[in-house]
Amino acid sequence: GDVPIDTSTLRGAAASTGRWLGAAVNTGALSDDPDYVALLVSEFGAITPENATKWGPLQPDAETWDFTVADSMVDLAELHDMRVKGHTLVWHNQLPDFISESMDPADLRSAMQAHFETTLSHFGTQIADWDVVNEALLSDGSMRESVFLSALGEDYVSEAFTMAAEYAPDARLFYNDYGIEGYNDKSTATVALVTDLIADGAPIHGVGLQMHLTHGYAPTRDELKDNIDRLWALGTVAHISEMDVQIRHLQGPESERLLAQAMTYYDITAACVESEGCEQMSFWGFTDRYSWIDTAYGADDPLLYDDDLVAKPARTAVHQALLGEPMTGCEDSRLTNGDFESGLDDWISWGGSLSTVSDPVYAGGSAVRSSERTAEWQGPVQSVLDRIGDGLLYEGTAWVRVGNASEAEVKMTLQWIDDAGEHWVPLNWVTATDEDWTELSGVVNFSDTRTTGEVVDAHLYIEGPDAGVDIYADDVSLHPVCPDTSVPVSR
């Protein structure tokens, strides 16, 4: 109908760009957790059964079929106007026991035939999209060993697509895999596979990039866009099909860890909405209450809503990226009293003497002065140990000038101590004068790829001039750098 799109929901915001936004549905939660179901249907316009439409769950033994759980998901989707993606017809995991590794080609082929025919005729047009083959490739680009490969040879992929189209002529058919989001041997092999399938006349419509990520190891936005573009150039759409973002390795306050995660979600969502070829984006669940990550790797919080179903910064970031709005959460300085209006507060000095002054000031009523300095590393310092987190880029800014010298080099430094020792990373240097205020700004990557073990100490320094030179500073701030604002392309 002509119901106006409610862009306050994720599904509505995605729909406003012509895309579907979905989540994998957990079997237990569907029947036992009404709050989960309510949030699912209000926020998501597409679902993928997380396990219920895999071969094993659907056909526990050769004579037994069980569509109960899958049907309840499909019915829910129909009631709430959600698109359904079936997952997955052919996969080396979660197979029925009667599919044995040593099956001969004829037996495997007829088992597949029965599975495809029964499953696809059962759902008919209720399931619009199917993952036909899942995870057929290895990271070096070669084909994964499986009963399908050993019995049917490499052509099993093409055979599966042709067979699926026979029983589901209206469905759109996908190849789905992990580790193919950026540019690497596996994603290049995927492009080659899709090229071959098309050349063979196999009916393939798209590729699912699973997007199981760990913050700090995600493909860049540009790399992902290029990768989606090369699939689009073949005439296939891309889906982000199983996104989640692990953060248990990140140090720092929870708010900073969740912000880091939100940045990864923002960048990936932005890459999708900035790409004509990206048609759908789905997450592997939506609440930290239920995630495969906890079981597979350890306690984590990889999704958009927390254990209490409260929206996390990641949910806000996805929503903002869908709407082409700037990402929020980076504005406030992680330092306290950077304008020195309430005295020295958390500012300290390892030497010399630190005081607030009312003249000169850059802004407001006071600035800080570091005088009687006996070494170049002395100046205003503030601990940021409980204020910043790894996996983030921080921008520091300050206004500085000097006394007792007409000019001197002043720098801003991030210092930290971890298992590898003490580190000093300059954000930037500037030539300050005794005549006027000069801006000092720069960025530092305080990242898990640079820290080793536990960070036990971290400070922001303003320092640099020779002993005896006074440093003045005002309006000092340190804040994270958020991703560039997305520019959605409608489909």
Site of interaction with ligand 9MR (CB under 6 A):
50-51, 93-94, 134, 178, 210, 242, 292
Look up residue 357 and give its amino acid: V
In eight-state DSSP terms, residue 421 is E
Residue pair 73/49 in contact (Cβ under 8 Å)? The answer is yes
Cα–Cα distance measured from residue 258 to residue 351, given in angstroms and rounded to the nearest whole number: 36
Which residues are CB-contacts of 413 (< 8 A; sequence separation ≥ 6)? 424, 425, 426, 427, 460, 461, 462, 463
Q: How far is the CA of 220 from the CAs of 187, 246, 308, 323, 366, in angstroms?
A: 15, 16, 31, 20, 42
Is the CB of 50 or the CB of 288 nearer to ligand 9MR?
50
Between 50 and 279, name the residue whose CB sits nearer to ligand 9MR.
50
Question: Least distance in Å: CB of 483 to ligand 9MR?
Answer: 26
Rounded distance, CA 294 to CA 301, Å? 8
CB of 290 or CB of 472, closer to ligand 9MR: 290
To ligand 9MR, the closest distance from the beta carbon of 401 in angstroms equals 56
* Least distance in angstroms from the C-beta of 212 to ligand 9MR: 6
d(C-alpha 77, C-alpha 164), whole Å: 22
Which pairing describes strands 46-49 and 83-90: parallel, antiparallel, or unpaired?
Answer: parallel
Q: Is the peptide bond before 253 cis (omega within 30 degrees of 0)?
A: no
The pair of structure tokens assigned to 136 is: 């057929």
CB closer to ligand 9MR, 242 vs 288: 242
Minimum distance of ligand 9MR from residue 241's CB (angstroms): 8
Whichever of 300 and 463 has its CB closer to ligand 9MR, that residue is 300
Q: How far, in Å, CA of 48 to CA of 284, rounded?
A: 9
Write out the DSSP string of 35-74: HHHHHHHHH-SEEEESSTTSHHHH-SBTTB---HHHHHHH
The DSSP annotation for 269-304 comes to HHHHHT-TTEEEEEES-SBTTS-HHHHHT-S---SS
Cβ distance to ligand 9MR smaller for residue 137 or 408: 137
In the complex, which residue's CB is closest to ligand 9MR? 292
Per the listing, tokens 């495809």 go with: 116
Least Cβ distance, residue 135 to ligand 9MR (angstroms): 7
Half-sphere exposure of 289 (CA within 13 A, CB side): 20
Bridge partners (DSSP) of residue 401 are: 472
Angle between helices 185-199 and 221-233 (to 10 degrees): 10
User: C-alpha distances in angstroms, 191 versus 184, 218, 227, 236?
Assistant: 11, 20, 9, 10
Active site residues: 135, 242
As measured in angstroms, the least distance from the Cβ of 178 to ligand 9MR is 6
| Residue nearer to ligand 9MR on the CB measure, 297 or 377 | 297
Minimum distance, C-beta of residue 93 to ligand 9MR, in the bound complex (Å): 4
Query: Whose Cβ is closer to ligand 9MR: residue 94's or residue 485's?
Result: 94
Give the residue from 164, 96, 158, 166 showing the smallest Cα distance to 130.
164
CB 174 within 8 A of CB 239: yes
Q: How far is the CB of 92 from ligand 9MR (least distance, A)?
A: 10
Distance CA 38, CA 28 (A): 15
Residue 133 or 440: which CB sits closer to ligand 9MR?
Answer: 133
Nearest-approach distance from CB 211 to ligand 9MR, in angstroms: 10
